[in-house]
Chains A and B, each alone.
Chain A
Amino acid sequence: MKYGVVKLTKELLRNAIHPVTVNYPAKKDLLGALTEIADESRGKHRFDEIKCVGCGACTIVCSSSAITESDSDLERTLSVEIGRCIFCGRCRDICPEKGLELTPEFEMSKKGQSANDCIKVEHSVPLGTCDKCGRTTFPIGQIEAVRKRVNEKIDPANLVIVNKDMEIFMRYCPDCRRSGSYAFKTHPRKSY
C-alpha cells in the first residue's frame, strides 16, 4: 500500500515535469520538442533534382500504382499521388540512382472533395530526341547513367570499342538503331 503511494507520487512528479501527452501542433517546451518522429519514419516523397534520372523503375515496383510517369514532347513527369501511396518505401529501395527519398514529413491532410484535391509530388526530367527521325527517346540523364554503368562493369579490353559504339547508338531511337545499324559501321558483336 505504502509502496504504491510512493510509486504514484513518483509517476505524478515525472508527469508534471515531462508530460506524456504531446502537444499538437508540435511545440517546444523547456525540455525541447515533445513530438518525436523517428528518423526512418516514411512520409512525403522528395525527388532529388540532380540524382533522379527518370528511368521509371519506381513506377514499376510501386505497390499501389501511386507513382505514374507521363511523357510529353520535352520532358517526362513522374508524379506521386499521395492519396494512393501506402508509404511502403519500395520505390526508394529500388531506385538505382538514390534519387528518391521519403522524408519524415507527415502533415499532409487537406480540405477537399475528391482524391484529385490530395497532395501530389511531381518531378520532371528532360527527354532526349533521336538524331535521325526527331522522335523523343529516353531521358538524357538515363542515357548518361547507362553509359557510366556500362563503363564500370565492362571488361577493360573492350572499353574502347564499346564506347565508340555507344557514342553512336545512344543518339538514336530504338527503331533507327535497328534500321541503321549497317550504315553506322559499328563493331559486329562477336567478341563481347
Chain B
Amino acid sequence: MRLGLKEKARAYSPWIFHAHAGGCNNCDIELAACFAPRFDLERMGIQLRNNPRHADIFLVTGPAPKQIAPILRRVYDQLPNPKVAIACGSCAITGGVYNRDDKKPNYAIGGPVEKLIPIDVLVPGCPPRPESIIQGIMLALEKLRHR
C-alpha cells in the first residue's frame, strides 16, 4: 500500500498520552527511562504530553481498578481520531499478578484494559524493558499510518 503525504506526516511526530491506571508504578518508571538520554525517544519526534486532546497514542499501564475504569474510557474518547492504544505491561494486558485467575477475578479490578477500550498493541513484561516499549511504539506507528 502506497502512503500519501497525509499518512506519512501523521506518523512523523506522534505525541503520547500516558494513562496510569493502577499498577505498581514500575512501568511508568520504565516509560520515563524511554525519554531519558539513554533511550531518547524524543530524537524520533515522539513526545510525552499531559493533555489527551493533543495526543495520538494512548499508552495505558496498570490493571485499571474499578475506580479508574470509567475515567479511562472517558479520557480515551477525548483523544482526537485517528488514535492508537498501547497496553503496556503484563497487568494492562491480562491483569498479571493482580488478576491471577480469570474465573475468579480480583474484586478491585475493573479491567483488564482490553475490556474497557480497544487495544492495538500489546507490550508484555513486568515491567517491559525500555527497548520493548520503543518496539511497541514503533508497531503503534505502523498502525497509525494506516488508520
Contacts and interface: CB of A to CB of B under 8 A. Distances in A.
Given A86-B97, A114-B114, A21 B122 contact: no
B62 interface: no
B122 A118 contact: yes
B14 to A, nearest CB: 16
Q: Kindly state the interface size class of chain B when it binds its partner.
A: 35 or more
A106 B96 contact: no
**Best-surrounded residue of B94, B112, B136 (most CB of chain A within 10 A):** B94
Interface in A66-124: 81-87, 106-115, 117-119
A1 B134 CA distance: 39
A109 B90 contact: no
Contacts of B43: 21
Interface stretch (B50-58, B64-72, B73-81, B123-131): B123-131
B94 A81 contact: yes
B131 A83 contact: no
Interface of A: 20-22, 24-26, 35, 41, 63-65, 81-87, 106-115, 117-119
B37 A20 contact: yes
A63 B100 CA distance: 8
A63 B126 CA distance: 12
A25 B39 CA distance: 11
Main secondary structure of the interface of A (DSSP, over half): loop
Given A24-B134, A107-B131, A109-B139, A86 B122 contact: no
Interface in B87-114: 90, 93-97, 100-101, 112, 114
Contacts, number: 97
Contacts of B38: 20-22
A21 B139 contact: no
User: Which of A83, A87, A113, A117 has the most chain B CB atoms inside 10 A of its CB?
Assistant: A83
Nearest to B136: A109
Contact of B120 (A22, A106, A113, A118): A113
B122 A110 contact: yes
A24 B131 contact: yes
B121 interface: yes
Given A86-B96, A106-B128, A108-B132, 17 more contacts: A21-B38, A21-B40, A25-B135, A83-B93, A84-B93, A106-B132, A108-B125, A110-B139, A111-B120, A111-B143, A112-B121, A113-B114, A114-B114, A115-B93, A115-B114, A118-B122, A118-B124
B90 A85 contact: yes
B82 interface: no
Interface in B32-46: 37-40, 43
A120 to B, nearest CB: 11
22 contacts: A20-B37, A21-B40, A25-B135, A64-B97, A64-B100, A81-B94, A82-B124, A84-B90, A84-B93, A85-B126, A87-B125, A106-B125, A107-B132, A109-B121, A109-B122, A109-B123, A110-B139, A111-B122, A113-B119, A114-B119, A115-B93, A118-B122
